[in-house]
Structure 1
């Protein structure tokens, strides 16, 4: 079993100090150094517009100032375990989500306004009136349930997610991540477990079990970044250990971890690098792979 020794951990911290965004440096300080969560909350607030939407490259590949559903998902994830149910940032974002939802109750993958912004080439809307999508409605709804938020948007969005999950067959990695995020946090635990059991095969099949798989793939530990998550049950101990070993091995000479997807402009290299490095450190910590 490979572990991150103190020198390697110090190198990762140094990488974050040199290259990561302020919000990710503060998230590291909160997760590993006991810094107050309020500092993270304040940094996330800087990405929120007056209309409640999150933009300004909080999702690094969406460089525009205007809000996008994916921006809200990133922001909610950063605030999990920090924000309370009555957090104004969340409630304003819910108002924004309600304003940009479809008749189905969810939000699209990306809004057509993205066409006016510099962005990664894959961010293309599905027409002038794009349909709702599990990515990112499911994680948005799941995270709001985790916060305990009470807002009119959440009921229809939750129902949309249940209906879309019920129709799911073959599942790609991104939709798998979104479905698992929702099922992990939604209050109806019996229904969540039933859907998890029904979709075990497709969910497992969305992960690349071979740590040498090329391209932009997601590993078992991407789906199960903590051992207490329901997704952990999709994989054997040997499979999880193999990919945890690979995380340790894949630390770069600069101390960080590099993404396995296209870096379409230089600025996103370290923005994603900082975000991913923190995620890798949190996963290694959760599985007891960081030496004290």
Structure 2
């Protein structure tokens, strides 16, 4: 069992403090060094639009300034991390964006608007109409609606919940980004809804996790993408794979102290280099959080 050494941690810390985006640096400080929630919110607000949604490259793989449901779920990930509450204006504005942009005929939202094609992006973010993977991002949005249910009309919460469970129960194809959205929903949903989803989520997880260490080099759902603490429901089922995966992750730290994305755009190469650097901060913080949860960081 490998440990993330003091030296490795200090290199990662140096990267976060000197090279990560300001919003990721602020979140790192909040999570690891008693930084302030207010600093995170201040930096996050620079990505928020007048309509309350997020754009402006908050999700580094598409650079358009317009708001999107997908970028706004990323915004909600930051807000949830710092335990934003109903009194925070930035949170209220984001929830208002989701409510106002809801499309009843879709039982949710499109991932990104057509305007996404007005700016550099990864090819998988070319505009497409809503497809079969409804849960991405709609299940995740519903999870945040439960987290902040005082701000959500009860009828919308009920309708979305019914559709989320029905969609999950009817799935024939399994796509891991959709799984991650459902897992975020399951973390926040009430017990009765979570119980209805559990058996289907169990199958979803078993279909999507890549168990073979030889396949972890590429892009895909590694065990720790699902199992992010020893208290996870799925840890006992995948314990050996998780521990091997943590060893693998420790070995992936790059010379500059960061952890790099396992993908590239294959287009807009100059902008991709910028996006890659931005991703490094997000991913490095994600790995540090994970290693801490499993007590894999040497004591400083």
TM-score, with structure 2 as normaliser: 0.89
Deviation at 1:72, TM superposition (A): 0.8
Q: How many residues align?
A: 289
Q: Tell me what 2:160 maps to.
A: 157
1:107-122 pair list within 5 angstroms:
107-122=109-124
Provide the rounded CA distance (Å) in 1 between the counterparts of 2:232 and 2:109. Answer: 25
Considering only aligned residues, what root-mean-square deviation do their CA atoms show, in Å? 2.0
Deviation at 1:231, TM superposition (A): 4.4
Provide the rounded CA distance (Å) in 1 between the counterparts of 2:102 and 2:234. Answer: 28
Alpha-carbon displacement from aligned partner over 1:2-45 (angstroms, at most 9, x marks no partner): 11111110000111223210000011101110111111111111
Deviation at 1:260, TM superposition (A): 0.8
| Structure 2 gap segments, 5+ residues each | none
TM-score, with structure 1 as normaliser: 0.91
2:290 corresponds to which of 251, 264, 283:
283
Match of 1:122, SS?
helix
Q: Tell me what 1:181 maps to.
A: 184
Q: Tell me what 2:138 maps to.
A: 137
Alpha-carbon displacement from aligned partner over 1:229-267 (angstroms, at most 9, x marks no partner): 33435x321111010111111111111111111145110
1:86-105 pair list within 5 angstroms:
86-103=87-104, 104-105=106-107
From the two aligned structures, give the one with the greater helix fraction. Answer: 2
Alpha-carbon displacement from aligned partner over 1:115-134 (angstroms, at most 9, x marks no partner): 2232211112324x778821
Q: Tell me what 1:49 maps to.
A: 49
Match of 2:146, SS?
helix
Provide the rounded CA distance (Å) in 2 between the counterparts of 1:18 and 1:239. Answer: 33
Q: Tell me what 1:10 maps to.
A: 10
Provide the rounded CA distance (Å) in 1 between the counterparts of 2:142 and 2:211. Answer: 28
Deviation at 1:272, TM superposition (A): 0.5
Q: Does 1:124 align with 2:126?
A: yes
